[in-house]
Amino acid sequence: MSDRPRVLVTRTANQADALSQKLLAAGFTPVEFPTIQLEPLPWEPLDRALAILPEFDWLIFTSGNAVDFFLRRVDELALALDAMPRVAAVGSATARLLAARNIAVDFMPEEFVGTALVQGLGDLTGKKVLLPRAKIGRPEIANLLQKQGAVLTEVALYDTVTAVPTPKAWIEFNRGVEAITFTSPSSVRNFFKIMAEYPARLIAPLEMMLHQTLVVCIGPVTAEAAAAAGLSDALMPEEYTIDGLVQQLKTALLMNTEVN
């Protein structure tokens, strides 16, 4: 292993830098290999929801991406968010994005997963809930909200599509990495989709590379996707955040190196 272990970053190109900078500061060499990109969907459904925003009891954000696209449209329409429903958020990073816009978060679960958020909200009988989300997402959150009595409005803001790695990204990937990071189920699925679509780009069998490489997932939902793809040994941090992910890498790679 090199003095600075190489870590694959599979986030979107515009989100990779935040993780890469933390990896650099922690003693790693980040290798950016975006597997996903986000494309906005037509705004009409969101526009209708924004027109009646004060009528909702809860506005729920389960990811920073949902916050980004929601606020992008708010800015385009030059809307003032004076009369807001109560806001719930999954994860400290999501909450920070909202706080940066002076949007108070009324509830955030201790466990950074959507199901914990819904359970924490309790009985929602008759409550109007707005859930901005990705086009393709896990149905569990919506199902739980409705099971708890919510009058749910789901608005798909963006689609998650497979990125096309650049020639430089392939070169760096083939130089080898000590660890692969996944920060969403889509990053897992699209990683394997890319590998299947471009087998000629690989200089070594993928199975061999994965067998020799540490895999770290940001949380249980992503780890579940990794297990479904055959990566049952993926590690997961105690705190489901980027900082927690980096700490898990330090524990697994750098500290072991120091001991040895």
Residue 127, pLDDT > 50, answer yes
Strands (DSSP E) found in the chain: 6-9, 29-32, 36-40, 58-61, 86-89, 128-134, 151-162, 179-182, 214-217
Residue 42, pLDDT > 90, answer yes
pLDDT of residue 214: 96
Q: Report the amino acid identity of residue 187.
A: S
Q: Which residues pair with 143 in a beta bridge?
A: none
Q: Of 205, 210, 145, 221, which Cα lies nearest the Cα of 177?
A: 210
Please list, in sequence order, all residues whose beta carbon lies within 8 angstroms of the beta carbon of residue 10, skipping any fewer than 6 positions away.
Answer: 33, 34, 35, 36, 180, 181, 182, 183, 187, 190, 191
Alpha-carbon gap, residue 203 to 46, rounded angstroms: 45
Q: pTM higher than 0.95 for the full model?
A: no
| 77-82: long-range contacts, CB 8 A cutoff, minimum separation 24 | 77/47, 77/50, 79/50, 81/53
pLDDT digits (tens, 9 = 90+) for 161-179: 999 999 999 999 999 999 9
Determine whether 232 is exposed, middle or buried from the number of CB atoms within 10 Å of its CB (0-12, 13-18, 19+): exposed
Contact 254, 2 (CB under 8 A): no
Q: How many CB atoms sit inside 10 A of residue 72's CB?
A: 15
pLDDT digits (tens, 9 = 90+) for 66-123: 999 999 999 999 998 888 999 999 988 899 999 999 999 999 998 867 788 888 999 9
Q: Report the amino acid identity of residue 102.
A: N
Q: What is the DSSP letter of 200?
A: G
Q: Structure tokens of 153? A: 């409005």
What percentage of the chain exceeds 90 in pLDDT? 78
Contact 200, 166 (CB under 8 A): no
Class of domain 6-35+163-259: alpha beta
Q: Report the amino acid identity of residue 78.
A: A
Determine whether 158 is exposed, middle or buried from the number of CB atoms within 10 Å of its CB (0-12, 13-18, 19+): buried
Q: Which regions of the chain carry the CATH code 3.40.50.10090?
A: 6-35+163-259, 39-158
CATH of domain 39-158: 3.40.50.10090
- 3 state DSSP class of 107: strand
pLDDT digits (tens, 9 = 90+) for 183-194: 999 999 999 999
Alpha-carbon gap, residue 26 to 49, rounded angstroms: 42
Percent composition of the chain: helix, strand, coil (DSSP 3-state, to 5):
45, 20, 35
- φ and ψ at 239, to 5 degrees? -105, 125
